[in-house]
Structure 1
Amino acid sequence: MNKDSKIYIAGHRGMVGSAIARKLQAQGFENLVLRNSSALDLRDGQAVADFFAQEKPEYVFLAAAKVGGIVANNTYRAEFLYDNLMIQNHVIHQAYLHQVKKLMFLGSSCIYPKLAPQPLKEEYLLSGELEPTNEPYAIAKIAGIKMCEAYRDQYGCNFIAVMPTNLYGPGDNYDLQKSHVLPALLRKFHEAKQNQQTEVEIWGTGSPLREFLHVDDLADACIFLMQTYNEKPFLNVGTGEDLSIRDLAEMIAEVVGYSGAMRFDTSKPDGTPRKLMDVSRLHQLGWRHRIGLRQGIAQVYQEKFL
């Protein structure tokens, strides 16, 4: 990609797409093509075909997706499967028809089998049954990986795929019913400090292990791989480090300056005991995350709550 290359970011309003747009602009890439969902519905095949014919982007970051937490994934199973399949089918196919130089498809760590060994290596894909609650979303993302591989095999397209770990950072969701664990805990501890609560309730036992990557680091990895990686196998993107939910909660309490107690509600589910990405392939290519977890949490807290 050159500084004047025409780059389309699908999903530029989302957490990942907006981080990629920010990072590209900061690096001097100015020819970005951006459309929100009201201007371009990626589920509409004709609209996507017309857009590609008109704009003719050279590079595509496919970060658009219908996303949500466990409840949303399990409730709107048909929508999560249909919408995500349509979005990626249309964008990937039109990228092929209009001879896009390179496309990057962004997936999710939920593609891996529920009981896959830890840490999660790329070769564990399709080696077992998926987690039932988010199976439709995971199947759509697996289809996207396989579509990139198939278009490479049959048509010679330079389409690559990356699978990020759990993300946090600007643009995150802080709704306590729908958000992921890190933003939910940040909000809980902040409000507990403000309201002088004596304790904060945390779901589960606190023992599950989780990995967290700042979305700005993901954007950096995506641009690095767009510039350097041209192979068929998809790549995990993460830190290769994890910590328990209890340790995460203690770190967040410290950052927020909350000194009350933590109460673990063990009647609530823990979820998967551990979910850590194997990022040795990414490290071998020369990329590592830069933003430490404590530093990243402090930065997010400052931006969002102070």
Structure 2
Amino acid sequence: MTAVDGVDFSPGPLDRDATFYVAGHRGLVGSAIVRRLEGAGFTNIVGRSSAELDLKDRDATFAFMREVQPRYVVLAAAKVGGIMANSTYPVDFLSDNMRIQTNVLDAALETDVDRLLFLGSSCIYPKFAPQPIPEDSLLTGHLEPTNDAYAIAKIAGILHVQAARRQYGRPWISAMPTNLYGPNDNFSPKGSHVLPALIRRYDEAAQSGAGSVTNWGTGSPRREFLHSDDMADACLHLMENYDGPSQVNVGTGTDVTIKEIAETIAGVVGYEGETEWDTSKPDGTPQKLLDVSMLANLGWTSQISLEEGLRRTVAWYHENAARLRG
């Protein structure tokens, strides 16, 4: 429990008529949060595209927050990418995310934002953390080198939220989602995460009649996948039911190998060719399964199965293929 203006704070239902700013409202996570908030009856949801507001611009971010005066904020804006993008552009992932986070969090302090949820990533945990990964594994070991710059930025965001709690008594919280997928994901060949990259690769192979598809690595790493609509539901649940300094893991509590997910995607898109594995390419972290017992104890569990989520995502991809990036 935190103390706001000397008064003890306890979480509860959010005011559906209050101004609610979703930073990154057009992205995978942010758009899902907007859908969830609309479904829950929120009437004053605010968002700005990166063309309208560059959150890396400190003055512009402060001016926006002063104008809008949001009561609630979800910080879902971030520069994200897969192994190749993170490995190739570590300075960009570190610098851009640090600036976005620092600007929004500092501006939220100045404008006295009531409740704020910072969204990180499960890559914050050590490469060889115990499996499933509990929240207290943070800062206990070395990070995965292929995305350490991004992870450090997200760790800084968690500590920024914790510092705001300690210094100013703000009832702000952090959530660490597992690998996410769903509508408005990035399906570009060079910048996407593994699941949307596989969807695009197998779908294009099915359309062209290609005899084989080549994926990176060995296919043996295990990954946990959560649909973005489940993630959005968890975010609202946390904002209304949790107040504490620890980040909260958000996931399904189950995982599959990359080879298994590739086979499932091939089946969903109707690809019948062969799959080959380029073992000269990196696998990344061998396993990354989150311990979601804290979230379960707060009364939330995921509802969308992996196969059902994939079918929804592939359908969305087909409907929007013409306008997707890359």
What TM-score results when the alignment is normalised by the length of structure 2? 0.90
**1:266 equivalent in alignment to 2:266:** no
Q: Give the 5 Å matches for 1:76-155.
A: 76-155=89-168
Cα distance in 2 for residues equivalent to 1:98 and 1:178: 34
Aligned-residue CA RMSD in angstroms?
1.4
Q: Which runs of 5+ in 1 are unaligned?
A: none
- 1:167 is paired with a residue whose SS is strand
Match among 174, 177, 181 for residue 194 of structure 2 = 181
- Per the alignment, residue 279 of structure 1 pairs with 292
**1:35 equivalent in alignment to 2:60:** no
Match among 9, 16, 25 for residue 12 of structure 1 = 25
- Per the alignment, residue 71 of structure 1 pairs with 84
Q: Which runs of 5+ in 2 are unaligned?
A: 1-13, 320-326
- Per the alignment, residue 56 of structure 1 pairs with 69
- Per the alignment, residue 249 of structure 2 pairs with 236
Cα distance in 2 for residues equivalent to 1:85 and 1:72: 17
Cα distance in 2 for residues equivalent to 1:198 and 1:79: 37
Contact 2:85–2:190 at 8 Å: present in 1 too?
Answer: no
Cα distance in 1 for residues equivalent to 2:175 and 2:64: 24
Change in CA separation of 1:187 and 1:75 when aligned onto 2, cut-off 3 Å: closer
Matched residues, number? 306
Cα distance in 2 for residues equivalent to 1:290 and 1:249: 22
Change in CA separation of 1:45 and 1:195 when aligned onto 2, cut-off 3 Å: closer
| Pairwise CA distance, 1:234 | 0.8
Aligned residue identity for 1:160: I
| Pairwise CA distance, 1:71 | 2.7
Cα distance in 2 for residues equivalent to 1:267 and 1:74: 15
Change in CA separation of 1:86 and 1:24 when aligned onto 2, cut-off 3 Å: same
Cα distance in 1 for residues equivalent to 2:54 and 2:211: 47
Cα distance in 2 for residues equivalent to 1:292 and 1:5: 33
Moved over 4 A (4+): none
Cα distance in 2 for residues equivalent to 1:125 and 1:95: 25
Cα distance in 1 for residues equivalent to 2:89 and 2:220: 29
Q: Deviations over 1:258-283 (max 9, x none)?
A: 22222223233222211111111001
Cα distance in 2 for residues equivalent to 1:258 and 1:231: 46
| Pairwise CA distance, 1:196 | 1.9
Cα distance in 1 for residues equivalent to 2:179 and 2:245: 23
